[in-house]
């Protein structure tokens, strides 16, 4: 029996969300799926870094970070290893990459993932930077090193957006993928429809923790852009760079635009889409669109996300679910871990 020895790079919201789920389900995962694992290392820039080749006490790590904000008082193990040393030199065989996203450079995550794959360790990640920028390189590197890489949580968090296209809809002849891939902007548009101005709706989203203090990545469509590039390249087999994709956010939408759409029986949504053209090239975009109220995407309100796959054999298939959150994104990682485990057990 292969035991997964997990090392986490980053121990923020999602990293903690994953280990909470692993702790809660340890017995069930073994009984139902045969999954045996230990968490051998956690490396985080400020919260600290611990390595114990025999496995860490997950409950203790969670308690410590809750009580003190860091894991420095963990009673045993080797302390202070940075991310790359943790990836290369621990006895881990699966790296969970959950550090910050930098959509411009993809770093430090690209270096983390490359180091892991070159060390012949499997990778699961929710960090969309590396996949939006260099998915092909990373997939080739994984293949060359005979290891697996999964990244379901990079789009729609744990809602199975990527696996739906790659696995369940394989052979369905997907011609288009389009949907709501950013919860913050969907929340703002929903609140504007209820009568708030843009600034008030944004402030409310910030107060509720949906929007960052600097909301640019969400409201200007950069976050959605990264996600549609991932779907176009990974699911549709494209080779787009983010600079090739026209992007427009929601900052120019006014209350009058919202009212006018209502009169037409429509609703504004920030849509990220990718579709095959006649010459088989892929055209992708991020832009506000007026969606007819009878379309499934129009019914998706608040911070919820949704994607419609247009296929030859099934017509439209729409998936709706959370696009962020501690448990939802932690679950995405768990699902990837189970997928890799099933694959390597074969």
Active-site annotation, residues: 227
Cβ distance 202 to 188 under 8 Å?
A: yes
**Member of 19, 98, 235, 261 binding ligand NAP (CB under 6 A):** 98
| Strand-pair partners of 286 | 247, 272
Q: Does residue 161 bind ligand NAP (CB under 6 A)?
A: no
Query: According to CB under 6 A, which one of 38, 92, 93, 99 is a site residue for ligand NAP?
Result: 99
Calculate the CA dihedral of residues 123, 338, 162, 297 and round it to 10 degrees: -130
Site for ligand NAP in 42-81 (CB under 6 A): 43-47
- Residue 1: which residues within 8 A CB-CB, separation 6 or more? 34, 36
Identify any residues that bridge with 307 across adjacent strands, giving them in sequence order: 179, 319
Among 6, 14, 18, 169, binds ligand NAP (CB under 6 A): 14
Under rule CB under 6 A, how many of the chain's residues touch ligand NAP? 25
C-alpha span between 111 and 130 (Å, rounded)? 9
CA nearest neighbour of 303 among 185, 143, 196, 203: 185
Considering only residues 231, 324, 334, 337, which one is a binding residue for ligand NAP as defined by CB under 6 A? 324
- Nearest distance from residue 147's CB to ligand NAP, in Å? 21
User: Per CB under 6 A, which of residues 247..286 are in contact with ligand NAP?
Assistant: none
Regarding 11 and contact with ligand NAP (CB under 6 A), the answer is: yes
Shortest Cβ 103–ligand NAP spacing (Å) = 9
Q: Is 110 in the site for ligand NAP (CB under 6 A)?
A: no
Measured distance CA(99)–CA(331) in Å, rounded: 17
83 lines the binding site for ligand NAP (CB under 6 A): yes
Measured from the CB of residue 175, what is the shortest distance to ligand NAP in angstroms? 27
Q: Which of 116, 163, 95, 136 is nearest to 229 (CA)?
A: 136
**Residue among 9 and 188 whose Cβ is closer to ligand NAP:** 9
The footprint of ligand NAP on residues 27-46 (CB under 6 A) is 43-46
Binding residue (CB under 6 A) for ligand NAP from 139, 275, 325, 339: 325
Q: Is 339 left (phi over 0), alpha (psi -120 to 50) or beta?
A: alpha
Whole-angstrom distance, CA of residue 115 vs CA of residue 45: 17
Q: Are strands 37-44 and 4-9 parallel, antiparallel or unpaired?
A: parallel
CB nearer ligand NAP, residue 61 or residue 261? 61
Which of 4, 6, 9, 201 is close enough to bind ligand NAP by CB under 6 A? 9
Instruction: Please say whether the beta carbons of 171 and 285 come within 8 A.
Output: no
d(CA 205, CA 197): 12
User: Does residue 186 interact with ligand NAP by CB under 6 A?
Assistant: no
Give the span between the Cα atoms of 291 and 287, in whole angstroms. Answer: 12
**10 is an interface residue for ligand NAP by CB under 6 A:** yes
Least Cα distance to 209 among 182, 246, 184 occurs for 184
Cβ count near 66 (within 10 Å): 9
- Given the complex with ligand NAP, which of 52 and 223 has the nearer CB atom? 223
Q: Per-residue contact track with ligand NAP, 118 to 147, x per CB under 6 A?
A: --------xx--------------------
Among 77, 106, 130, 153, binds ligand NAP (CB under 6 A): 153
Half-sphere exposure of 144 (CA within 13 A, CB side): 11
Please tell me whether residue 329 binds ligand NAP under the rule CB under 6 A. Answer: yes
Provide the binding-site residues for ligand NAP, judged by CB under 6 A. Answer: 9-15, 43-47, 83, 98-101, 108, 126-127, 153, 157, 324-325, 329
């Amino acid at each position: 029996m292969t035991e997964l020895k997990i090392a986490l790079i980053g121990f923020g919201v999602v990293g903690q969300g994953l280990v909470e789920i692993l702790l809660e389900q340890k017995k069930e995962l073994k009984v139902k799926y045969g999954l045996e694992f230990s968490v051998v290392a956690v490396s985080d820039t400020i919260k600290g870094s611990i390595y114990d080749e025999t496995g860490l006490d997950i409950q203790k790590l969670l308690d410590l970070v809750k009580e003190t904000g860091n894991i420095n008082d963990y009673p045993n193990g080797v302390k202070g290893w940075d991310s790359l040393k943790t990836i290369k030199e621990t006895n881990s065989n699966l790296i969970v990459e959950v550090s910050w996203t930098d959509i411009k450079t993809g770093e430090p995550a690209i270096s983390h993932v490359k180091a892991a794959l070159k060390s012949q360790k499997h990778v699961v990640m929710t960090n969309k930077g590396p996949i939006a920028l260099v998915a092909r390189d990373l997939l080739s590197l994984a293949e060359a090193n005979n290891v697996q890489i999964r990244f379901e949580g990079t789009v729609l968090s744990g809602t199975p957006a990527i696996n739906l296209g790659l696995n369940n809809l394989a052979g369905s002849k997907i011609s288009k993928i389009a949907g709501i891939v950013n919860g913050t902007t969907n929340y703002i548009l929903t609140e504007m429809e209820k009568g708030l101005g843009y600034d008030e709706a944004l402030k409310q989203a910030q107060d509720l923790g949906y929007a960052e203090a600097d909301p640019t990545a969400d409201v200007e469509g950069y976050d959605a852009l990264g996600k549609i590039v991932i779907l176009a390249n990974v699911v549709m087999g494209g080779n787009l760079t983010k600079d090739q994709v026209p992007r427009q956010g929601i900052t120019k939408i006014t209350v009058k635009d919202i009212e006018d759409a209502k009169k037409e029986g429509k609703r504004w949504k920030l849509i990220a889409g990718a579709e095959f053209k006649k010459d088989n090239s892929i055209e992708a975009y991020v832009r506000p669109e007026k969606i007819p109220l009878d379309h499934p995407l129009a019914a998706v309100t608040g911070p919820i996300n949704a994607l419609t796959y247009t296929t030859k054999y099934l017509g439209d298939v729409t998936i709706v679910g959370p696009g962020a959150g501690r448990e939802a994104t932690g679950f995405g990682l768990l699902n990837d871990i189970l997928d890799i485990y099933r694959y390597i057990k074969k």
